[in-house]
């Protein structure tokens, strides 16, 4: 078992340089990228269960990049499975991204470039093992690769406690039924991923069908003030860049479309006699505008009248 913690006696920058070396030596070649923190600290605990490397990373905000320059032609064909234990991280690979909250996991292919960005302090379990051990076909892996896999239903409530147990006992794993533990971990992860791929598959989705699903998704969540590109892209297993491209082809931006639809709903409610007693701030809040002053500003910019004037004009008719 390997256990590494950033030194206590050093500057934050010095501790991060130490961590850079740890990251390079502990997984496949990759580069650590500083995050927004003035007091960087991190730790890594790793055990090996046969061919399966089990690691628990605890760290202040930062990111890692695995670029094409890091990928050698003779590099072993590994996959990584990350289970978010605390904090939130964003995984991006190809045209997909996965936003990982506690209790969610993702699989990604180390033979392709990827980035992992954690903007808050986090703790993560990382399994790394040869692709050949995974009980998935190439098509099944492609379907689930770099997507957010929730563990709240199906096999998730079975798999997640097992993986959390590995994380808790990472320092005591080696030498105790290693091969059986490794087989169990890979089998359970494979089953969970296969189930996720089957339930989330949309083989008929070309760009137009996907765009319509995205628009419907946004329409149904206009009231959520947290609705934004990251959440929308993650829900559809695509990158933000591809999301922007899909909407741009119809002349929209993501934020512009959301703002326009929210304003339309607010304008409708302000003109509805049945809602005349509802405060304007409450109308704004029910459609994703938590800041009443900001709402009034964008509403007047869009319609040339304030929300109050719009309501009064509708009542005068």
- Distance CA(182)–CA(177), nearest Å, equals 9
Q: Return the top range by mean pLDDT from 49-53, 120-124, 209-213.
A: 120-124
Question: Residue written as tokens 């050949």?
Answer: 132
Question: Residue written as tokens 């003779």?
Answer: 74
Measured in degrees and rounded to the nearest 5, phi and psi for residue 106 equal: -150, 150
Mean of the pLDDT values across residues 188-197? 90
pTM over 0.95: no
Based on the fold, state whether residues 70 and 138 are members of the same structural domain: yes
pLDDT (tens digit, 9 = 90+) per residue, 50-98? 899 999 999 999 999 999 999 987 778 899 999 999 999 999 998 888 8
Mean of the pLDDT values across residues 196-220? 75
Q: State residue 281's pLDDT score.
A: 92
Based on the fold, state whether residues 227 and 146 are members of the same structural domain: no
Based on the fold, state whether residues 262 and 183 are members of the same structural domain: no
Residue from 192, 205, 236 nearest 218 by CA: 236
- Distance CA(132)–CA(137), nearest Å, equals 10
- Bridge partners (DSSP) of residue 124 are 57, 84
Based on the fold, state whether residues 207 and 192 are members of the same structural domain: no
Mean of the pLDDT values across residues 107-129? 94
The whole-angstrom distance between residue 72's C-alpha and the CA centroid of its chain comes to 27
CA atoms within 13 A on the CB side of 72: 6
Based on the fold, state whether residues 143 and 58 are members of the same structural domain: yes
* Token digits of residue 224: 């959520």
Q: State residue 176's pLDDT score.
A: 64
Is the confidence at residue 269, as pLDDT, over 60? Answer: yes
Is the confidence at residue 201, as pLDDT, over 60? Answer: no
Is the confidence at residue 104, as pLDDT, over 90? Answer: yes
Which of 169, 199, 229 terminates a domain? The answer is 199
Based on the fold, state whether residues 115 and 9 are members of the same structural domain: yes
Q: State residue 1's pLDDT score.
A: 64
Is the confidence at residue 206, as pLDDT, over 80? Answer: no
* Token digits of residue 81: 């499975």
| CATH number, domain with residue 291 | 1.10.10.60
Is the confidence at residue 204, as pLDDT, over 60? Answer: no
**Would you tell me how many other CB atoms lie within 10 Å of the CB of residue 127?**
22
Higher per-residue confidence, 191 vs 206: 191
Based on the fold, state whether residues 207 and 135 are members of the same structural domain: no
> How many domains does the chain divide into?
2
Name the average pLDDT for the chain. Answer: 89
Is the confidence at residue 259, as pLDDT, over 50? Answer: yes
Contact status, residue 66 vs residue 115, Cβ threshold 8 Å = yes
Based on the fold, state whether residues 160 and 220 are members of the same structural domain: no
Split at pLDDT 50, 70, 90, the class of 203 is: very low
Which of 199, 221, 248 terminates a domain? The answer is 199
Based on the fold, state whether residues 215 and 133 are members of the same structural domain: no
Beta carbons within 8 Å of 155's beta carbon, 6+ residues apart: 188, 191, 192, 195
Q: Return the top range by mean pLDDT from 36-40, 41-45, 265-269.
A: 41-45
Contact status, residue 222 vs residue 287, Cβ threshold 8 Å = yes
Based on the fold, state whether residues 80 and 223 are members of the same structural domain: no
Which of 183, 199, 215 terminates a domain? The answer is 199
Burial (CB count within 10 angstroms: exposed 0-12, middle 13-18, buried 19+), residue 213: middle
Question: Residue written as tokens 């490794």?
Answer: 182
Based on the fold, state whether residues 131 and 266 are members of the same structural domain: no
| CATH number, domain with residue 23 | 2.60.120.10
Residue from 182, 160, 184, 183 nearest 173 by CA: 182
**Reading across the β-sheet that carries 122-130, which strands appear in turn?**
2-5, 42-49, 52-59, 122-130, 78-86, 104-109, 149-150
Based on the fold, state whether residues 164 and 208 are members of the same structural domain: no
pLDDT (tens digit, 9 = 90+) per residue, 271-303? 888 888 899 999 999 899 999 899 999 999 999
Q: State residue 109's pLDDT score.
A: 93
The parent domain of residue 68 ranges over: 2-199
């Amino acid at each position: 078992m390997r256990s590494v913690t950033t030194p206590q006696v050093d500057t934050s920058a010095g501790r991060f340089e130490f961590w850079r070396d740890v990251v390079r030596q502990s997984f496949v070649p990759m580069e650590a990228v500083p995050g927004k923190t003035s007091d960087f600290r991190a730790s890594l605990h790793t055990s090996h269960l046969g061919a399966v490397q089990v690691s628990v990373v605890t760290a202040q905000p930062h990111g890692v990049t695995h670029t094409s320059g890091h990928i050698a032609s003779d590099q072993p064909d590994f996959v990584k499975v990350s289970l978010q234990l605390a904090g939130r991280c964003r995984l991006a690979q190809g045209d997909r991204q996965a936003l990982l909250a506690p209790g969610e996991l993702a699989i990604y292919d180390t033979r392709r470039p990827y980035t992992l960005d954690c903007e808050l302090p986090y703790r993560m379990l990382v399994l790394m093992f040869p692709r050949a051990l995974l009980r998935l076909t190439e098509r099944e892996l492609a379907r689930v690769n770099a997507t957010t896999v929730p563990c709240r239903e199906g096999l998730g409530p079975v798999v997640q406690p097992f993986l959390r147990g590995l994380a808790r006992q990472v320092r005591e794993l080696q030498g105790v039924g290693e091969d059986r533990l490794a087989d169990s971990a890979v089998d359970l992860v494979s089953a969970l991923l296969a189930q996720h791929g089957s339930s989330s598959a949309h083989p008929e989705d070309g760009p137009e069908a996907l765009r319509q699903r995205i628009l419907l998704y946004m329409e149904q969540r206009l009231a959520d003030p947290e609705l934004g590109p990251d959440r929308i892209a993650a829900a559809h297993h695509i990158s933000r860049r591809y999301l922007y491209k899909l909407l741009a082809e119809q002349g929209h931006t993501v934020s512009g479309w959301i703002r326009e639809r929210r304003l339309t709903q607010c304008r409708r409610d302000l003109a509805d006699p049945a809602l005349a007693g509802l405060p304007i701030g409450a109308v704004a809040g029910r459609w994703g505008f938590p800041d009443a002053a900001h709402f009034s500003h964008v509403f007047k910019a869009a319609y040339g009248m304030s929300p109050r004037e719009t309501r009064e004009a509708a009542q005068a008719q």
